[in-house]
Amino acid sequence: MVTTVSTSTLNRFPNLSSVGHWNSSIREAVNQGHSYSALLLFRQMKQTVRIGIDADVSVANTWVSAYAKCGDLSSAEKVFGGIDSNLLSVVSWNSIIAGCAYFERSIKAITFYQRMLYLEIRPDVSTILNLLSSFVQPEALCQGKLIHCHGIKVGCHSDISVLNTLISMYSKSGDVHSARHVFDGMMEKSCVSWTAMIGGYAEKGDLDEALALFHSMQAAGEKPDFVTVLCHAEDLLIYEALDGLALQMKEELDLLCVEELFYH
């Protein structure tokens, strides 16, 4: 039985006079974290707007993305499967791959990616980012390396977001050496780059390298991401409670926080 959206829900998204308005309202609901409202809006839209998915693929892409973000990957796949293959765009493929990545369904993600390549749809930065995000387990390291190679082939290897995600992917998969290789090869490093690499050493329990990199970060003039690095400092304390290096890192960050608050 199809549930009708409540009046209070519709009041939050009042401009529902066209497909475009439905599309925008559903996206807004998802972005604001109103997952249940987004699902209700989908169902109401299918009752109210008489339009085939193939007539407006952008609407279908929104359905795929929102269903996945709301935790209903099965419905996302059904909507995706209902789109004519000739109408599928890179955005369509990115939407379903992102849904698989969100649930760390690496096998599904790589299967969709293979179909995408078979149809000669050229992947973009978002495709590579979504795929890498799904390969964060040691058993998926081989697939992650494969996507790394594909990223280089399609010209995404210099994108800083891709490089940061590679550092995170390799670190979480237990290959800190490869993560450091990517990190050292970066022409420019952001705060995310530094903290991702520090986090990799923290998860491995390598206190010396984590603290040395933290000091290198400061020497390079990069301001620490206090929340991120402090979280990793706590991880270090858990792994090696008797080692004073992690505590030293935390104390230095606390001092930096005080200076940031009162002297800047």
Structure tokens at 228: 């991120």
What is the model's pLDDT at position 264?
A: 45
Whether residue 82 has pLDDT greater than 80: yes
Structure confidence at residue 224 as a pLDDT band (50, 70, 90): low
What is the model's pLDDT at position 238?
A: 41
Question: CA 137, CA 248: separation in Å to the nearest integer?
Answer: 30
Q: Which is it for the CA torsion 127, 224, 141, 149, positive or negative?
A: positive
Structure tokens at 75: 């419905």
In this prediction the pTM is 0.68
What is the model's pLDDT at position 113?
A: 93
Whether residue 211 has pLDDT greater than 90: no
Residue ranges of domains in the chain: 1-75
Whether residue 85 has pLDDT greater than 70: yes
Question: CA 214, CA 253: separation in Å to the nearest integer?
Answer: 10
How do residues 9-67 score in pLDDT, each as one tens digit?
Answer: 444 444 444 556 666 777 777 777 776 677 677 666 655 444 444 456 777 888 888 88
How do residues 165-191 score in pLDDT, each as one tens digit?
Answer: 999 999 988 899 999 999 999 999 998
Structure confidence at residue 162 as a pLDDT band (50, 70, 90): very high
Residues 6+ apart with CB under 8 A from 42: 26, 63, 66, 67
What is the model's pLDDT at position 187?
A: 92
